[in-house]
Amino acid sequence: IQIREREGNFKDYTDFCRRLDTKAINKRVLESLIKCGAFDSLGHRRAQLMAAVDTGLGLAQQCQRDRENGQLSLLDLFGDSATFAAGIDLPQVAEFAPDQLLMLEKEALGLYISGHPLSQYRADLGRLATVSVAELADLPDDSNVVLGGLITGVKQINTRKGDLMAFLTLEDLTGTVEVVVFPRTYQSYRSAIVVDGVVLLKGRISGNDEAVKVIGEEISFLERHLGGEVHIKIDSASSPLLDQVQIILSSFKGEAPVFFHFEREGIVYKTGSEFWVELAGPVIKRLTDLLGQSKIEIKRLPAASRAQGDKTYRQKVPNAGAALSVNEEFIQKKNRFFSILEL
């Protein structure tokens, strides 16, 4: 800040690195500045900057040595009119996913800046939860509640009998509350008790202490209550990636229908239900890691649409020229994955 006030605003990442004092800013500090969005006004993507941290520090250290040795730079000689022959070429990488950007902000600052991970679930939380964290203090002791939120902390302990239980920190859009999960409940719902998991929690208020707590009784991932379809874009029905997609789908079975969009052929197919997936699990991350974020889409469905059951799906496909009906035989067949020959 002192350098900026003394010498003027930074023009870009290269300009910042040339002028920074490496005695005051090390790699950890630079990464934290990137994670919290300090360079956003310069027009760079945070993913680009994170990939160029070492390059930036190398330039900063060289410029620092030049200044200490009394060597004048082009900036010293010509001021703002200087044109640098050597700058930092930022790699052309895609920006981090929105939820990852938020996690990086929380990691650097302890709070979210550009949004909140629960913002996308605001309407769903309003529909499914019976109370917000801010309203808990107004309810009598032992009241039954349903809360929706983000697990931001998990502390496991052993009881005197050696059983595991846990204390959770649950955060919604209005505040945070401690949730006590006793051994039997912890054993039953352990898979849903993970840091950064978005959950729906049923429990009762415990007001014996000064701070209101909730005794957790049932815990499940919020995704399980939303419903939706997974749409996967594949370049061609002959893509070798289909085999790997098959393995991922069969590993996370659930109730969310899966659709393949074959872009070259301009057709859409719906898999059999044995390849439907559990949205609350890691299946979306696995598919995204394999195919890229732009190739995976989750389409939320109204409750009325989900109640209609497994009917013929009609979808307009870009460049296909007309709407297509998915082959009924394709939808109804069970217990096997359709090979590229059958497509």
What confidence tens digit (pLDDT) does each residue in 116-131 have? 889 888 988 998 999 9
Cα–Cα distances in angstroms (integers) from residue 254 to residues 121, 193, 196, in the given order: 21, 19, 21
**Sign of the C-alpha dihedral, residues 189, 195, 198, 204?**
positive
Count the residues in the chain: 343
Span 321-326, mean pLDDT? 31
pLDDT band at 83 (very low <50, low <70, confident <90, very high): very low
What pLDDT shows up at residue 258?
94
Q: Is the pLDDT of residue 324 over 70?
A: no
Distance CA(261)–CA(248), nearest Å, equals 17
Q: What is the dihedral of CA 17, 18, 23, 27, to 10 degrees?
A: 20
pLDDT tens-digit readout, 222-251:
888 887 899 999 999 889 999 999 999 999
- Does the pLDDT of residue 152 top 50, yes or no? yes
Distance of CA 257 to the CA centre of its chain: 21
Percent share of the chain, pLDDT over 90: 41
Q: Is 56 exposed, middle or buried (0-12, 13-18, 19+ CB in 10 A)?
A: buried
Rounded distance between C-alpha atoms, residue 284 and residue 251, angstroms:
12
Using one digit for the tens of pLDDT, what is the confidence trace for 4-15?
778 778 888 888
List Cα–Cα distances, 84 to 74, 78, 87, 125, 161, in angstroms. Answer: 7, 11, 6, 52, 69
Q: Of 142-151, 240-249, 286-295, which gets the smallest average pLDDT?
A: 286-295
**Mean pLDDT calculated for residue range 152-174:** 95
Residue 181's pLDDT is 97
CB neighbour list of residue 263: distance below 8 Å, 6 or more residues apart: 233, 234, 235, 236, 318
Q: Which of 142-156, 201-215, 256-270 has the lowest mean pLDDT?
A: 201-215
pLDDT at 301 over 80: no
Say whether pLDDT at 307 is over 50.
no
Residue 58 has pLDDT above 80, yes or no: yes
Once rounded to an integer, what is the mean pLDDT over residues 69-84?
50
What does the alpha-carbon distance between residue 232 and residue 13 come to, in Å, rounded to a whole number? Answer: 37
Residue type at position 263: E
Q: And the tokens for 85?
A: 């022959």
Mean pLDDT of 58-62: 87
> What letter does residue 274 receive in the DSSP assignment?
G
Q: What is the mean pLDDT of the chain?
A: 81
Reported as a pLDDT band with limits 50, 70 and 90, residue 209 is low
Q: What angle do CA 56, 21, 79 make, to 5 degrees?
A: 80
The token pair at 182 is 């006793």
- Check: CB of residue 296 under 8 Å from CB of residue 284: yes
What integer is the mean pLDDT of 127-148? 93
- Of 58-72, 161-175, 313-327, the poorest mean pLDDT is in 313-327
